[in-house]
């Protein structure tokens, strides 16, 4: 059975802090790993990672995949209150991309 584990489950920080969220997986026929941000609504796409060691960046957010360690990290620098959300990691397998999501990391950023 495919497995995606995220840690920590929750995190409380102050504005300006840097956070690192972790995602580890056990998936047959790995295809890609995706990060999503979920506020009080549907998840929105952040990054898709398919190759090890290549960092993806978008503003203060960055992510990298380590296929040897079967894991990925999502970094957020200089956090803002608007970063408060649940961050979901999903891993896709197979030719038709069948996704498995982790439980998510709940991030709360205090002013």
Partner 1 sequence: EAGVAQSPRYKIIEKRQSVAFWCNPISGHATLYWYQQILGQGPKLLIQFQNNGVVDDSQLPKDRFSAERLKGVDSTLKIQPAKLEDSAVYLCASTHRDLYNEQFFGPGTRLTVL
Give the SS3 label for residue 75: strand
By CB under 8 A, the residues from 86 to 105 that bind partner 1 are 88, 90, 92, 96-104
Phi (first) and psi of residue 30, to 5 degrees:
-55, 140
In the complex, the smallest distance separating the C-beta of residue 111 from partner 1, rounded to whole angstroms, is: 25
Phi (first) and psi of residue 28, to 5 degrees:
-80, 135
In the complex, the smallest distance separating the C-beta of residue 91 from partner 1, rounded to whole angstroms, is: 11
In the complex, the smallest distance separating the C-beta of residue 44 from partner 1, rounded to whole angstroms, is: 7
By CB under 8 A, the count of residues binding partner 1 is: 23
The end-to-end CA distance of the chain, in Å, is 41
- Binding characters for partner 1, 31-60, by CB under 8 A (x = yes): xx-x------xxxxx--x------------
Contact between 80 and partner 1 per CB under 8 A: no
Phi-psi region at 50: left, alpha or beta (left = phi > 0; alpha = psi -120 to 50): alpha
In the complex, the smallest distance separating the C-beta of residue 37 from partner 1, rounded to whole angstroms, is: 11
Q: Which residues, other chains included, contact 71 with Cβ-Cβ below 8 Å and sequence gap of 6+?
A: 22, 23, 24, 25, 65
**Which residues of the chain form contacts with partner 1 (CB under 8 A)?**
4, 6, 31-32, 34, 41-45, 48, 88, 90, 92, 96-104
């Amino acid at each position: 059975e495919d497995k995606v584990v995220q840690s920590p489950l929750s995190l409380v920080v102050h504005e300006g802090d840097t956070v690192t969220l972790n995602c580890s997986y056990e998936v047959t026929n790995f295809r890609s790993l995706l990060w999503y941000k979920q506020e009080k609504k549907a998840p929105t796409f952040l990054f898709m990672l398919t190759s090890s060691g290549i960092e993806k960046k978008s503003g203060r957010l960055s992510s990298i995949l380590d296929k040897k360690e079967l894991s990925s990290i999502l970094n957020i620098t200089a956090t803002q209150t608007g970063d408060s959300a649940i961050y979901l990691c999903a891993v896709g397998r197979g030719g038709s991309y069948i996704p498995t999501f982790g439980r998510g990391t709940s991030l709360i950023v205090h002013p």
